[in-house]
Structure 1
Amino acid sequence: MSLSFLIKLQILWAINDIQKIYFPILAAFGVPVNVVTIVILSRGKCGLSKCVTRYLVAMAAADLLVVIIDLILRQIPIIYREQFSFLRVIRMCNIHAVLLYAATDCSVWFTVTFTFDRFVAICCQKLKTKYCTEKTAAVVLGTVTVLSGLKNILWYFLYTNEYWLSNSPWFCRVSRGVAHSLVWTIIELMHYILTPFIPFLLIVLFNVLTVRHILVASRARRRLRSPNSGECPSDPEMENRRNSIILLFVISGNFILLWVVFTACSILRRLDYLGYPVPLPTFVREIGFMLQLLSCCTNTFIYAVTQRKFREELRNGVKYPLAMMVKLIR
C-alpha cells in the first residue's frame, strides 16, 4: 500500500468525520434561512420588482427542497448509515431520485432564467416591457418546473427502488447491466450536460454580454451628461443598474464556484466507466457534495449583503419576536 494512497485515505476519513458535523449543521441552518428568505421576499417590501421577486422566491423554494430532499433525506442518512440502515427496507429510492434530481434541476435553471431576465432588462430595452413581467416570470418558472420533472422521470426506470446508502451520484441500487449500458451512458451524460454544464455556459455568456452593454452605455451616458467637463453628476439610472448587476453577479458567481467541483467529478466518473480513467481522489468528490449543498444556503447572505431593504426586513423580522417575548415577560 503506497504512501500517497494512505494519505488520500486519511484525508477521506477526516472529511467523513467533518461531514458528520457539517451536514446536520447545514440542514439546521439551511431550512430556516430559506424559509425566512421566502417570507421576506414574498412581502414585497425589499424594493425589488415583482418580476425579480418571483425569480428569487422560486430560487429560495427550490433550494429549500434540495436541502430537504438531498441533504436531510439523502446525505445525512448516508453519512450515518449505521443509524439509518432501516432505509434499506423502504422501497422508494427511485421516486426519491426523481424528486431530488427535479428539485436540483429547478434550483440550477431558475438561476439561469433569472440571469437571462436581468440580461433582457438591461440590454434589450424593446423586449424588456414584454418579457420582464410578473406573468412572464410565472410562465417561465412553471415551464422549467414541468420540464425538470419530465426530464428526470427516466431515473425511475433506471434505478431500482432499493436504497444503496453509498455516497456517490448514484444512491439507489442499479443493476450492473444497466450501469454499463449505452443507454445509461447517454442519459447520464445528457443529465450532467443539461445540469449544470449548459447553465454554466449560459450564465457566463449572459453576464459577459451584460457587462459589455453596461460598459458601453456608461461611457455614452457620461459623455452626454458631462460633455464639456470632467465632472460626472450622479446618475440614478446607472446606480440602479449597478445595484442590479452586483446582485446578479454575486448570485451567478456563487453558483459557478460552488458547483464546479461536483460537476467535474461527476463527468470524470462517467468517463472512468467508459474506459477513460482520470485519476481523481475520492475525497475531491466528497468536497464537491459539500460545496454543492452549501450553494443552497448562501443566497440569504447574498441578499443581506447586497440589498439594503432586505437587511432592514430581516432586522425587523428578528426584532418582532424578541419584542413580543419582552411584552409577554413584562
Structure 2
Amino acid sequence: MREATILHQVEDIYYPVLVAVGIPVNLMAIVILSRGKCGLSRCITLYLVAMATADTMVIFTDVILYTIIPFHFPGTYMDTTPAISLILVLLSAATDVSVWFTITFTFDRFVAICCQKLRIKYCTTETATVVLTAVSVVLSLKNITWYFIYEPEYIVDDVPWGSTISLSFYTETAWVAFDLFCITLTPCFPFLLILLINALTIRSILVTGKIRRRLQKSSNCEDRNDPEMEKRRKSIILLFTISGSFIILWMTRVLLVLYYRITMNIHDLTGPGHIAEQTGYMLQLLSSCTNTCIYVVTQTRFREQLRDALMYPFTAVVAWF
C-alpha cells in the first residue's frame, strides 16, 4: 500500500475525473466532426477526428488500463507480466500517435497558410489519409519493442506476475540507444518542431499581412476587410490554440526529461522532483481532452452542433409527447 500523501489523494480524484470527462468529450467531438457540418474542410476534419481518436486511446490505455485498474483492482490478470507489457506497448503507441498527429496537423496548416503553391497538392483528404496511416503504422511497429523490457517479479503456477525492468535495458548499448531514440522522438523533437513551425507560420503571416496592407494603401482601397485574410483567420486561430495548448501542457514533462537526462540525477519518490514529475504527467494527460474545449471556443458551427446534440434528448421527448 502506498502512503496517502496529498499528491496521491489528488491523483485518486484527478484520474477518474479525467476519464469521466475526457472520453465522453472526445467521442462527442468525433461524432460531431465526422458529420462534416462544422464549416471545416474535409482535410482539416480528418486530422481533427484522428487526433480525437488518438486522445481517446491515450486516456483508455494510460489512465484506465495502466493507472486506475492496477491500483484499485490488484491481483487481476492485468497484473501479469504479459498484460503489463502489452499495456506498455499500447499506451506508448497511443501517446506517440497522439503527439505526432498534432505535428502532422500543425504542418498541414503551415502549408495551407504559408505555402500557396504546395497547398493545392498537399492539403487534400488523400494526402491526410496517407500521412495519418503511415504515422500510425510506423509508430505502432516501433513501440512493439517495449514489450520485451519487463521481467516477472515472481512466478506462480507457471504464470509470470508483476514487472521489473530487465537489467540489460540499462547496460546493453542497443537498449540504451533505443531509449534515447524514443525520448527524442517523443516528446523532445515534436516539442521543438511545433515551436519552429509556429514561428515560421507567424513570420509568414506578418510578412503577408504587411504586403497586403501596402497593396491596399497603394490602391486607395477603402474597404479594409481582406477576404483572403478572413478566410485564413479560422485556420490560424485553430492552429495556434491547438499547438499552444500542446506546448503549455507538455512543457513541464519535456523540461523534466531534459533535466534528468542531462544531469543524470535520480530523484526520490517523495521529494519535489517526484511531485514535479507527476504534475507534468497529469498535465500531459490533460492535453488529451482539451481539443474539444478549443473547438467549442473557436468554432461557431461546432458550438451549434454541440448544442443541438446536447438538446436532442429533450427535443426528442418533447416531439414524442
TM over 0.5: yes
Q: Are the aligned partners of 1:88 and 1:162 in contact in 2 as well (CA < 8 Å)? A: no
* Residue 187 (str. 1) matches residue 175 (str. 2): no
Corresponding position of 2:303: 311
Cα 1:198–1:90 change in 2 (3 A) is closer
Q: Does residue 1:284 correspond to 2:272, yes or no?
A: no
Look up the equivalent residue of 1:315 and give its one-letter code: R
Provide the secondary structure at the position in 1 that maps to 2:108: helix
What pairs up with 1:41-120 in 2 under 5 angstroms?
41-78=33-70, 81=71, 83-86=73-76, 87-89=78-80, 91-120=82-111
8 Å Cα contact 1:203-1:252 kept in structure 2: yes
- Deviation, 1:182, is 3.2
Aligned residue in 2 for 1:5: none
In structure 2, what is the Cα distance between the partners aligned to 1:271 and 1:238? Answer: 44
In structure 2, the residue matched to 1:37 is 29
Mean Cα displacement is larger for which, 150-159 or 129-138? 150-159
Partner of 2:256: 265
Partners in 2 of 1:158 and 1:183 — Cα distance?
12
Deviation at 1:278, TM superposition (A): 6.2
Q: For 1:32, give the aligned amino acid.
A: P
1:210, 1:254 → 2: CA distance?
Answer: 16
Q: Quick one: distance in 1 between partners of 2:140 and 2:80?
A: 26
> Does structure 1 residue 19 correspond to structure 2 residue 8?
no
The whole-number CA distance in structure 2 between the counterparts of 1:102 and 1:193 is 15
How many Å separate the matches in 1 of 2:153 and 2:243?
36
TM-score normalised per structure 2: 0.89
Equivalent residues of 2:245, 2:287 under 8 A apart: yes
Letter in 2 for 1:85: G
1:82-119: per-residue Cα shift (whole Å, max 9, x none)? 53332324632212111111111110000000111111
* 1:243 to 2:243 alignment: no
The letter for the 2-side match of 1:206 is I
In the alignment, the residues of structure 2 paired with residue 74 and residue 278 of structure 1 have an alpha-carbon distance, to the nearest angstrom, of 23
Conservation of the 8 A alpha-carbon contact between 1:101 and 1:152:
yes
Residue 291 (structure 2) aligned to one of 293, 299, 306: 299
Unaligned runs of 5+ in 1: 1-8, 164-170
CA distance 1:162–1:257, change in 2 (3 Å): farther
Instruction: Give the fraction of aligned pairs with identical amino acids, expressed as a percent.
Output: 50
Is contact 2:81–2:151 with CA below 8 Å preserved after alignment?
no
Q: Partner of 2:164: helix, strand, or coil?
A: coil
Residue 174 in structure 1 maps to residue 165 in structure 2: yes
TM-score where L is the length of structure 1: 0.86
CA contact (8 A) 1:92 1:162 kept: no
Alpha-carbon offset, residue 244 of structure 1: 1.2
- Answer whether contact 1:23 1:71 (CA < 8 A) is retained: yes
Quick one: structure 1 residues 155 and 161, their matched pair in 2 at CA, closer, same or farther if it must change by over 3 Å?
farther
Match for residue 159 of structure 2? none
1:155-194 deviation digits (Å, cap 9, x = unpaired): 112234779xxxxxxx942123433443332211111110
Conservation of the 8 A alpha-carbon contact between 1:160 and 1:172: yes
Question: 1:54 Cα shift?
Answer: 0.6
Q: 1:185, 1:270 within 8 Å by CA — same for their partners in 2?
A: no
Q: Residue type matched to 1:233 in 2? A: R
1:201 is paired with a residue of what secondary structure?
A: helix
Distance 1:306 1:61 in 2: 20
* Correspondence 1:147 to 2:143: no
Q: 1:142 to 1:162 in 2, by over 3 A?
A: farther
The residue aligned with 1:131 is 122
Letter in structure 1 aligned against 2:276: V
Amino acid at match of 2:118: L
Residue matched to 1:6:
none
- Structure 2 residue 109 is the aligned partner of structure 1 residue 121: no
* Residues 237/160 of structure 1: CA separation in 2 closer, same or farther (3 Å cut): farther
Cα separation, 1, equivalents of 2:56 and 2:140: 17
Deviation larger for 53-62 or 278-287: 278-287
Q: Give the number of aligned pairs.
A: 308
User: 2:124 is aligned with what amino acid?
Assistant: T
Structure 2 gaps, min length 5: 155-161
Contact 1:98 1:155 (C-alpha < 8 Å) held by counterparts: yes
Measured after TM superposition, the shift of residue 124 of structure 1 is 0.9
Change in 2 beyond 3 A, CA 1:264/1:162: farther
Q: Distance in 2 between matches of 1:160 and 1:101?
A: 18
